[in-house]
């Protein structure tokens, strides 16, 4: 009888992200959007939501989707990508 019991533990457990308490809403947005280093040809550099601001001879890049602030928390890297990436349409 003990040989007849089959455990299917791995099949019943859904794969979810762990719940993490973040210091800011921007860090939470980056975690939820799976913002990470791009491995394919897609990147923030050619996304329609990427905006560049020039300030004192430097350009700071921001994502329109997460909101714009004057702080470093909303800065994005051009070599990264998120789940909301949308290519710029060439006209």
CA distances from 13 to 8, 16, 19, 43, 50 (A): 9, 9, 16, 33, 37
User: Which residues span the domain enclosing 71?
Assistant: 37-91
pLDDT for residue 58 is more than 70? yes
Q: Which residue has the higher pLDDT, 62 or 18?
A: 62
Using 50, 70 and 90 to split pLDDT, how confident is the model at 13? low
Query: Does residue 62 fall inside a structural domain?
Result: yes
Contact 20, 58 (CB under 8 A): no
Work out how many domains the chain is built from and give that number. 1
Between 68 and 62, the more confident residue is: 62
Mean pLDDT for 22-44 is 85
d(CA 71, CA 37): 21
- Residue 19 is assigned to a structural domain of this protein: no
Domain assignment present for 82: yes
Q: Quick one: pLDDT at residue 3?
A: 59
Position 20 scores a pLDDT of: 81
Cα separation, 35 vs 84, in Å, equals: 9
**pTM (predicted TM-score):** 0.68
Both tokens assigned to 18:
């762990």
């Amino acid at each position: 009888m003990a040989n007849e019991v089959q455990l299917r533990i791995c099949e019943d457990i859904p794969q979810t992200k762990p719940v993490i308490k973040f210091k800011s809403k921007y860090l939470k947005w980056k975690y939820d959007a799976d913002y990470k280093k791009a491995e394919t040809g897609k990147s923030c550099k050619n996304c329609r939501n990427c905006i560049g601001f020039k300030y004192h001879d430097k350009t700071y890049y921001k994502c329109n989707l997460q909101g714009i602030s004057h702080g470093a928390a909303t800065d994005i890297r051009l070599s990264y990508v998120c789940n909301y990436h949308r290519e710029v349409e060439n006209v």
